[in-house]
Chains A and B, each alone.
Chain A
Amino acid sequence: MIVDFEYFAPKTVAEALSLLAQHKGEAKIIAGGQSMLVVMKRGLLTTENLVDIKGIDALDYIKYDEGKGLRIGPLTIHRAIEKSPIIQKHYRVLSEMEHNLATVQTRNWGTIGGNLCHGDPAGDPAPVLIALNAKLKIASSKGERIIETEDFSQDYLEVALEPDEMLIEIQVPTPPPHTGTASEKLMVMKGDMGIVGAAVSITLNPKDGVCKDARIALSNCGSTPLRAKKAEKKLIGKVLNDSLLIEAGEVASEETAPPADVHGSSEYRKEMVGVFVRRAAIKALEKAKAA
Chain B
Amino acid sequence: MKGELKELKLTVNGKSYEFKVKPKTLLVELLRNELKLTGAKIGCLDSACGACTVNVDGKAVRSCSVLALQANGRKVTTIEGVADGDKLHPIQEAMVEYGAIECGFCTPGMVMSARALLGENPAPSREEIREAIQGNLCADEGYVKYIEAIEIAAKKMRGGN
Which B residues lie within 8 Å of A109 (CB)? 56, 59, 61-62, 65-66
Interface: B149 (CB within 8 A):
no
Interface: A9 (CB within 8 A):
yes
Q: Are B65 and A34 in contact (CB under 8 A)?
A: yes
Q: Are B46 and A2 in contact (CB under 8 A)?
A: no
Q: Are A6 and B70 in contact (CB under 8 A)?
A: no
Instruction: Select one of B6, B73, B113 contacting A7, CB under 8 A.
Output: B6
Q: Are B47 and A106 in contact (CB under 8 A)?
A: yes
Q: Are A105 and B135 in contact (CB under 8 A)?
A: yes
Interface: A190 (CB within 8 A):
yes
Interface: B138 (CB within 8 A):
no
The minimal Cβ–Cβ distance linking B125 to chain A, given in whole angstroms, is 14
Bound Cα distance A104, B4 (Å): 33
Which A residues lie within 8 Å of B47 (CB)? 34, 37-38, 106
Q: Are A37 and B23 in contact (CB under 8 A)?
A: no
Bound Cα distance A284, B56 (Å): 37
Chain A 14-53 interface 0/1 with B at a Cβ cutoff of 8 Å (1 = within) = 0000000000000000100110011001000000101010
Bound Cα distance A3, B22 (Å): 11
Q: What are 25 pairs between A and B in contact, CB < 8 Å?
A: A1-B24, A2-B24, A4-B3, A4-B22, A4-B23, A5-B2, A5-B23, A7-B4, A7-B6, A34-B47, A34-B65, A37-B26, A37-B67, A38-B65, A55-B72, A102-B135, A103-B50, A104-B113, A104-B134, A105-B61, A106-B62, A106-B135, A108-B61, A189-B134, A190-B134
Q: Which of A4, A37, A50 has the most CB of B within 10 A?
A: A37
Q: Are A50 and B45 in contact (CB under 8 A)?
A: no
Bound Cα distance A104, B132 (Å): 6
Q: Are A41 and B66 in contact (CB under 8 A)?
A: no
Interface: B140 (CB within 8 A):
no
Interface residues on B, range: 20 to 34
Bound Cα distance A227, B45 (Å): 35
Chain A 88-114 interface 0/1 with B at a Cβ cutoff of 8 Å (1 = within) = 000000000000001111101100000
Q: Are B60 and A105 in contact (CB under 8 A)?
A: yes
Q: A residues near B, CB below 8 A?
A: 1-7, 9, 30, 33-34, 37-38, 41, 48, 50, 52, 54-55, 79, 102-106, 108-109, 189-191
| Apart from A4-B3, A105-B61, 6 more pairs, CB < 8 Å | A33-B66, A37-B47, A108-B56, A108-B60, A109-B61, A189-B134
Which A residues lie within 8 Å of B72 (CB)? 9, 55
Q: Are B135 and A191 in contact (CB under 8 A)?
A: yes
Interface: B1 (CB within 8 A):
yes
- Look across to chain B and name the residue whose beta carbon is closest to the beta carbon of A31: B70
Q: Which of A55, A104, A108 has the most CB of B within 10 A?
A: A104
Q: Are A3 and B65 in contact (CB under 8 A)?
A: no
Q: A9-B72, A108-B60 are in contact. Are A50 and B135 (CB under 8 A)?
A: no
> Quick one: which of B1-17 are within 8 Å of A by CB?
1-4, 6
The minimal Cβ–Cβ distance linking A213 to chain B, given in whole angstroms, is 34
The minimal Cβ–Cβ distance linking B139 to chain A, given in whole angstroms, is 15
The minimal Cβ–Cβ distance linking A91 to chain B, given in whole angstroms, is 21
Bound Cα distance A30, B26 (Å): 14
Which B residues lie within 8 Å of A190 (CB)? 131, 134
Which A residues lie within 8 Å of B6 (CB)? 7
Bound Cα distance A4, B1 (Å): 9
Interface: B147 (CB within 8 A):
no
Instruction: Select one of A52, A106, A191 contacting B67, CB under 8 A.
Output: A52
